[in-house]
């Protein structure tokens, strides 16, 4: 178990200094650190690794104290027994793949170094790259080498800062599979920073969300990300619609409340939440959770049916983004097939259908 309780203030030119203020425990296994950029995720990892010094607090790994401001104790990075894969990977450009992997093993005997290097190279399938330099590797190969270099040291904590950014889905999945297999065998705390929802779903046992230097929520990925409680989180969790709203009335018998969106442009029903009538809140809705109909729909369980007009149609790869004015402006994602079948085009009168539970109350 890794216990972190730290505070670090950053001087800034702006009016408000950035403060990282985190108290959390990381058990063995994956913990995803999720949050918008600038939330302090990399700074948190740097503090745990000893590359930056917090102003106060302590960091403990099992029985060992890595950092304790009260006792002016801070182990240097090299004595913390952890591994850190940076976003930039930071492979040594002048060393070969093999030399890169061996770099962290200098305290061991030569034969042991060779044994471990071969072992890890084998499990990450990079033996054939031993004599290449980082510049001669593809993106996925570099990522594998960086992971191998970190894991070959048999760390007690693994810090991963968006290690798979820029890879295509198949490659990411295969590397994640390798990582997961490795995790089964070693069971140490792994802190995994990512913005990518797909990676969260693929590895997340636990998720910790960080916003503005503070931990906002901790829990299972689905529970946390599907009902974000802050606007920053909603946006980074992929909620395209985050609309200002005012609570109109509670209907406890139905388990819902009515809110008016975007300065009384329209009204919808959302699940009953922690906000009193008259309160200003925000409502987050995924663009993909909104259905579109070209005739007034009847006999539906969905409680929110809003008439509107398509303002723009924009094709983005395998998805089409519609901008619909139905009182407020909504982003709606549909497939190209739906656009053809319904002949969706700007100016067309449509009805938006939104399930009550697709609407999330956000602070």
Partner 1 sequence: MNAEALFLSLRLAATVAILLLAIALPLAYSLAFSTWRGKFLVESVVALPLVLPPTVLGFYALIAMGPRGPLGKIWLSLFGHPLAFTFAGLVLASMLYSLPFAVQPLVASFESLDRRLLDASAVLGAGRGRTFLRVILPLAWPGVLTALVLSFAHTLGEFGVVLMVGGNLPGITRTVSIDIYDRVQALDYTGAHQTALLLLLVSFVVLSIVYGVNRRVWLPWPAK
Binding site for partner 1 (CB under 8 A): 46, 49-51, 76-78, 80, 82-84, 86, 88, 90-94, 103-104, 106-107, 149, 153
- The distance of closest approach from Cβ of residue 262 to partner 1 in the complex, given in angstroms and rounded to an integer, is 44
d(CA 357, CA 346): 28
Q: Between 95 and 329, name the residue whose CB sits nearer to partner 1.
A: 95
Beta-carbon contacts of 35 under 8 Å, excluding residues fewer than 6 positions away, are 41, 209, 210, 211, 216, 232, 233, 236
d(CA 160, CA 179): 11
- The distance of closest approach from Cβ of residue 152 to partner 1 in the complex, given in angstroms and rounded to an integer, is 9
Q: Between 2 and 359, name the residue whose CB sits nearer to partner 1.
A: 2
d(CA 30, CA 176): 11
- The distance of closest approach from Cβ of residue 184 to partner 1 in the complex, given in angstroms and rounded to an integer, is 24
Q: How many helices (H) and strands (E) does the chain have?
A: 9, 21
Alpha-carbon separation of residue 327 from 42, 183, 261, 265 (angstroms): 40, 50, 8, 4
d(CA 148, CA 98): 10
- The distance of closest approach from Cβ of residue 165 to partner 1 in the complex, given in angstroms and rounded to an integer, is 15
- The distance of closest approach from Cβ of residue 20 to partner 1 in the complex, given in angstroms and rounded to an integer, is 18
Q: Between 91 and 200, name the residue whose CB sits nearer to partner 1.
A: 91
Q: Can you tell me which residue has the tokens 């409502």?
A: 283
d(CA 265, CA 271): 20
Alpha-carbon separation of residue 42 from 71, 87, 157, 252, 355 (angstroms): 25, 9, 15, 43, 37
Q: Which two tokens stand for residue 297?
A: 């729909």
* CA-wise closest residue to 233 among 63, 57, 362, 101: 362
Q: Between 86 and 182, name the residue whose CB sits nearer to partner 1.
A: 86
Contact 67, 58 (CB under 8 A): yes
Q: Between 20 and 159, name the residue whose CB sits nearer to partner 1.
A: 159
Q: What are phi and psi of 71, to 5 degrees?
A: -100, 10
- The distance of closest approach from Cβ of residue 186 to partner 1 in the complex, given in angstroms and rounded to an integer, is 18
126 CB-side CA count, 13 A: 29
- The distance of closest approach from Cβ of residue 86 to partner 1 in the complex, given in angstroms and rounded to an integer, is 5
Q: Between 41 and 360, name the residue whose CB sits nearer to partner 1.
A: 41
- Which residues sit opposite 318 in a β-bridge? none
Q: Between 151 and 359, name the residue whose CB sits nearer to partner 1.
A: 151
Q: Between 13 and 16, name the residue whose CB sits nearer to partner 1.
A: 13
- The distance of closest approach from Cβ of residue 88 to partner 1 in the complex, given in angstroms and rounded to an integer, is 5
Q: Between 91 and 266, name the residue whose CB sits nearer to partner 1.
A: 91
- The distance of closest approach from Cβ of residue 90 to partner 1 in the complex, given in angstroms and rounded to an integer, is 4
Q: Between 53 and 345, name the residue whose CB sits nearer to partner 1.
A: 53
Sign of CA dihedral 229, 231, 235, 240: positive
- The distance of closest approach from Cβ of residue 107 to partner 1 in the complex, given in angstroms and rounded to an integer, is 7
Q: Can you tell me which residue has the tokens 């104290």?
A: 65
Strand order in the sheet with 349-354: 290-293, 349-354, 304-316, 319-326, 328-334
């Amino acid at each position: 178990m890794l216990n972190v309780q730290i505070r670090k203030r950053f001087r800034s030119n702006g009016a408000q200094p950035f403060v990282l203020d985190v108290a959390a425990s990381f058990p063995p296994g994956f913990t995803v650190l999720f949050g918008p950029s600038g939330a302090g995720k990399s700074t948190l990892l740097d503090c745990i690794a000893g590359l930056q010094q917090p102003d106060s607090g302590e960091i403990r790994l099992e029985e060992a104290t890595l950092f304790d401001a009260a006792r002016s104790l801070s182990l240097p990075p090299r004595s913390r027994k952890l591994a850190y894969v940076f976003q930039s990977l930071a492979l040594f450009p002048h060393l070969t793949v093999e030399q890169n992997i061996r770099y962290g093993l200098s305290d061991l005997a030569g034969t042991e170094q060779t044994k471990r290097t071969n072992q890890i190279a084998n499990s990450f399938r990079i033996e054939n790259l031993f004599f290449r330099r980082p510049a001669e590797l593809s993106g996925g190969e570099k990522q594998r080498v960086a992971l191998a270099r970190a894991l070959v040291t048999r760390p007690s904590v693994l810090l991963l800062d968006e290690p798979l950014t820029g890879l295509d889905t198949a490659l990411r999945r295969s590397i994640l599979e390798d990582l997961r297999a490795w995790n089964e065998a070693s069971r140490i705390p792994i802190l995994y920073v990512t913005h990518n929802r797909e990676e969260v779903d693929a590895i997340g046992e636990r998720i910790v969300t960080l916003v503005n230097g503070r931990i906002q929520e901790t829990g299972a990925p689905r529970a946390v990300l599907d009902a974000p409680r802050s606007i920053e989180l909603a946006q980074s969790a992929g909620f395209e619609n985050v609309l200002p709203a005012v609570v109109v009335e509670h209907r406890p018998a139905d388990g819902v409340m009515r809110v008016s969106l975007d300065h009384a442009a329209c009204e919808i029903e959302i699940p009953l939440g922690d906000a009193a009538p008259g309160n200003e809140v925000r409502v987050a809705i995924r663009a993909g959770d909104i259905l579109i109909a070209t005739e007034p729909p009847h006999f539906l369980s969905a409680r929110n049916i809003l008439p509107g007009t398509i303002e723009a149609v924009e094709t983005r790869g395998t998805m089409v983004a519609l901008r619909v004015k139905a009182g407020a402006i909504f982003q709606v994602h549909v497939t190209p097939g739906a656009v053809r079948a319904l002949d969706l085009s700007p100016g067309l009168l449509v009805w938006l259908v939104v399930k009550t539970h697709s609407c999330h109350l956000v602070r």
